[in-house]
C-alpha cells in the first residue's frame, strides 16, 4: 500500500485497487482508520482525538490532491506524495 504522506508519526496510505467511496487509510501506532475524501468522515476504525484533528486538518487542505491521487492510483497504479502537515 503506497504511502502518500507522513507527519507527526501519522502515515497516510492508499490501496492500488480499493473500493468506493474514495478514501484514504490512516495508521498511527496501533490505530487504523479509513477516512472518506469527500466528507472527511471516519468510515471504519478509530483514531485518538490528538491524531484525528491533524489528520482532518491535513485532509481538508489537500482534498483535491487526495481525490486526484485516488483517481490516478486506481487507473494506473501511479501516485504522488502529498506535502505533510507542518
Give CB contacts under 8 A, 24+ apart, made by 28-31: none
Closest CA to 62 of 1, 4, 2: 4
Mean pLDDT across the stretch 38-53? 97
- Look at the pTM and tell me if it is higher than 0.85: yes
φ, ψ dihedrals at 14, nearest 5°: -140, 145
Mean pLDDT, the chain, as a whole number?
96
Amino acid at each position: 500500500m503506497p504511502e502518500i504522506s507522513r507527519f507527526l508519526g501519522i502515515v497516510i496510505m492508499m490501496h492500488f485497487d480499493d473500493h468506493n467511496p474514495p478514501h484514504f487509510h490512516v495508521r498511527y501506532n496501533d490505530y487504523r482508520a479509513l477516512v472518506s475524501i469527500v466528507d472527511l468522515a471516519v468510515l471504519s476504525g478509530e483514531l485518538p482525538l490528538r491524531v484525528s484533528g491533524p489528520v482532518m486538518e491535513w485532509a481538508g487542505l489537500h482534498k483535491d490532491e487526495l481525490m486526484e491521487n485516488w483517481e490516478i492510483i486506481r487507473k494506473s497504479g501511479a501516485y504522488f506524495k502529498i506535502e505533510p502537515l507542518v
